[in-house]
Amino acid sequence: MIRKSYTFFPMAYPLLAVDLDGTLLDSRGRVPEANRRALRRARQAGCLVALCTGRGLTESRDAVEHLGHDGPLVLAGGAHVAEAPTGRTLHRVTIE
């Protein structure tokens, strides 16, 4: 396996939105160490990290807590945006 080394420059983007299932989490629902490091580096570079998922808040809680994530959560396919630490709704779109 060839390992690449990446140099991180100051963030060109203020927000990094990362999907949970199949992207950040592996097939067992765990976060590989390489993904943890990448998130940590993005935060250290000043980037706001948002976790995104089709799941609802309750179904996402374990993964969010496991990551120690304290940024925004984009839930239910974008219909609900919440604060990770409190679960407080920041934005919600309902079907009328």
DSSP 40-71: HHHHHTTPEEEEE-SS-HHHHHHHHHHHT--S
Helix (H) or strand (E) holding 38: helix 33-44
| Active-site residue set | 19
